[in-house]
Structure 1
Amino acid sequence: MCGRYVMARAVGDLLAEFDARLEEEVDIPPSWNVAPTDDVPIVLERLIDDATVRQLHVARWGLVPSWAKDPGIGARMINARSESVLEKPAFRKAVQSRRCAVPADGYYEWKQGADKSKQPYYVRPAEGSGLVFAGLYEWWKDPSKAEGDPGRWMLSTSILTADTPPPGAESTIFGQLTALHDRVPLPMDRATMEHWLDPEADDAPALVELVRAGVKDVAAAWRVDSVGKEVGNVRNNSPQLIRPVEALF
């Protein structure tokens, strides 16, 4: 599960890190509390004049299928289960030809205590480098807006998730993640990302399995820190949210 995450890097840094270009100027304010339906950066590749071009775009978090009657459905489509993404009507076309990478600095999870209160945790690479999740994107046309209206087309995205490793990994980072939630967002290393983004790659099942198979190695150096409950309110958004605190349970 990935329902809140951190993306605080500047546009210029993302362009350099992913060797991407802009199709048009974008504004992506840093956020330490990215929530569903927020605008987020994504990286995708397109074939332009027979050449593969990597671009940085801004998308709404929560995929809106092209056939949706209104964009409200996207709030329920922030994650796509990798085990069923090839069959689900909302995602099966996107996984074939509209795959993207979703940059992040880390993400949040919550664990419920005996008193029903929830302790938030921040999951991130131990060395402080960024993450990149496997994602999907889709374009939705607003039928209420006229042809030529720049707001007629909405770009949206979803993050792939996977079930965490089975029992037996308690002594690893995965043991901690399993204790927090039974699913994790799917991270990619750079080699996997190259395959995932390739617009000419057409074996979607193999690509999904490639990403799923690599999750353990990519996340091996992650760490989990307990953080303050302020992150639970989407109106709170500052670097203070990721500061480690003593866990309540």
Structure 2
Amino acid sequence: MCGRYVMARAVGDLVAEAEAEADANLELRRSWNVAPTTDIPVVLERVLDGAAVRQVHVARWGLVPGWAKDLSVGVRAFNARSETLLEKPTFRDAVLARRCAVPMEGYYEWQAGPGGTRKPFFVRRSDGRLHWFAGLYEWWADPALPADDPARWLLSASVITLASPDPEDSGPVLSRLGALHDRMPLPLGGGDLGRWIAPGTLTATAALSLLGTALGNAYAAAGDWKIEPANPAVGNVRHDGPWLLEAGAGPGAGPAAEAALF
């Protein structure tokens, strides 16, 4: 699963790493505790003047399909299971025509312990670069606003997940991922990023083939990730700051905690 993550890159750094364009007024809030229903960056491609252009946009985390009557659908749709994308009405249209990538510096996962306890861990790439996870996006028109009001349109997104590796039948990192949680976000490594976000409407067969390629490469992409204890305070959405990446730190941890990002 993926329910909290870190995205504290400066806008310019994100745009450069995505090799994308961004509006001059693009604003992203740095956060070490990104939660569902908040704003997140997404990378997608659109056809402009006959050419595919890669762009960075800000979306609400929690997919709201065009047919939804209100935003409440998105509360339950921040993640999308890869096995049922074409079966669920919430995601079916998006996987055929509106695919994106969700950049993260790393994500949190909670491991169940004895007596109902849960311990948070931070999962990140070992090289300090961004994760690119497969996502879906949708545009939703607020029926309460006039048709000519630009604020009427909401961009929302969801992160696709897959089954984690079998902890009994994997390498050191993959077995830890499997023991941590039974779900993980779908990474887009190598050429999978470009293929996934390429604009155009696919048939169901083509969408399944594209998804299958990304799924087939997922565990290899995750093979060098790092899994480190995180601060239990991350469970409260009111807490934010680099100190959340240090298991024993507090709100006043300061620059030392920020260094733990890299």
Does residue 209 of the first structure (1) align with residue 222 of the second (2)? no
Most deviating of 13-22 and 100-109: 13-22
Contact 2:120-2:229 at 8 Å conserved across structures: yes
3-state SS of paired residue (1:115): helix
Please list the CA deviations of residues 211-235 of structure 1 after superposition, one character each: whole Å capped at 9, or x if unmatched: 1111111111001111111101000
CA gap of 1:210–1:171, structure 2 versus 1, over 3 A, is: closer
CA gap of 1:64–1:17, structure 2 versus 1, over 3 A, is: same
Letter in 2 for 1:91: F
Question: In the aligned structure 2, how far is the partner of 1:136 from the partner of 1:159?
Answer: 7
Partner of 1:184: 184
Letter in 1 for 2:218: V
Question: In the aligned structure 2, how far is the partner of 1:30 from the partner of 1:12?
Answer: 12
Question: In the aligned structure 1, how far is the partner of 2:148 from the partner of 2:190?
Answer: 37
Contact 2:122-2:230 at 8 Å conserved across structures: yes
RMSD over aligned CA atoms reads 1.5
3-state SS of paired residue (1:174): helix
Deviation for aligned residue 1:201: 6.6
Contact 2:62-2:157 at 8 Å conserved across structures: yes
Partner of 1:55: 55
Partner of 1:101: 101
Partner of 2:113: 113
1:237 to 236, 240, 243: 240
Most deviating of 17-26 and 221-230: 17-26
Question: In the aligned structure 2, how far is the partner of 1:240 from the partner of 1:176?
Answer: 23
Question: In the aligned structure 1, how far is the partner of 2:197 from the partner of 2:43?
Answer: 8
3-state SS of paired residue (1:200): coil
Deviation for aligned residue 1:86: 1.6
Letter in 1 for 2:242: P
3-state SS of paired residue (1:109): strand
Deviation for aligned residue 1:6: 0.6
Please list the CA deviations of residues 84-143 of structure 1 after superposition, one character each: whole Å capped at 9, or x if unmatched: 112211111100110001000000011122121211010111222210100000000000
> Percent identical across equivalent pairs?
49
Question: In the aligned structure 2, how far is the partner of 1:30 from the partner of 1:101?
Answer: 18
Question: In the aligned structure 1, how far is the partner of 2:172 from the partner of 2:214?
Answer: 20
User: How do 1:3-22 residues align onto structure 2 when only pairs under 5 Å count?
Assistant: 3-22=3-22
Contact 1:195-1:201 at 8 Å conserved across structures: no
Give TM-score, length-normalised by structure 1.
0.95
Report which of the two has the higher share of helix. Answer: 2
Letter in 2 for 1:105: E
Question: In the aligned structure 2, how far is the partner of 1:181 from the partner of 1:165?
Answer: 9
Contact 1:226-1:245 at 8 Å conserved across structures: no
Partner of 1:225: 228
Runs (5+) with no aligned partner, structure 2: 250-262
